[in-house]
Amino acid sequence: MSDVTSKDGSASWFYSDIVKDHFFHPRNFMMDGVDASQFNAIGKVGSPACGDELQVWMRVDPETERILDFRWRTFGCGSAIASTSMASEMVTENGGMTLAEARAMRPQQIMDRLGGLPARKFHCSVLCDKALRDAINDYYRRVGKTDKIIAESARVIDPVANVTDRDIESAVLDGATTIEAVQTKTKVGIGNPSVLPAVEELIRFYREKYFGSRH
């Protein structure tokens, strides 16, 4: 995977050597013939109909709740492959993260270990993060610890435009980091300006969550 320049020359994406290494030599890929019954948690996010899809398998030690094995398959771009490959190493190195540690891991940590991703590809590390958390919920569902399941539900922010906090999160991940840019993508608050203070607060929250002090 070489660095990429758009056809019209208006944008360029530069990939670190670490990203390229994980793309060409993905770690912990779920190969055909691997016995899926040895895993006790499965997570899935996305859809091939709308782009990236990712499925992960985990083997969790029931005594320590450490992740002993993590496999994955994705129908996605090079950034999605590299992000998931790196995440699979992070959650299994040094004896494996506990589920609590893995749940606390953030997309920014994956991106930092990769040496960065193009801004337009940051959502790929979020895709992996969400699949991991879905697998953690699946594990707790299987072992009957439903009190430890953390459901991810969308909250309606603007009932007029039917915009949720998930919509705003997606807009920020796609590069919209100002209220004007988010409105262009979602139409939030255009017919209901009373919601704008809440929207601005969410934009600040997601900017800090995913990009830290860089934005």
Hey, which residues are catalytic here? 50, 124
Helix (H) and strand (E) counts in the chain: 8, 7
Q: Do residues 60 and 68 lie in contact, with contact meaning Cβ atoms separated by under 8 Å?
A: yes
Residue among 167, 79, 84, 75 at smallest CA distance from 119:
79
Q: Do residues 129 and 122 lie in contact, with contact meaning Cβ atoms separated by under 8 Å?
A: no
Instruction: Tell the residue number behind the tokens 């997309």, with chain if given.
Output: 107
Q: Please, what is the Cα angle at 84 between 78 and 85, to 5 degrees? A: 85
Whole-number Å distance between alpha carbons of 87 and 74: 13
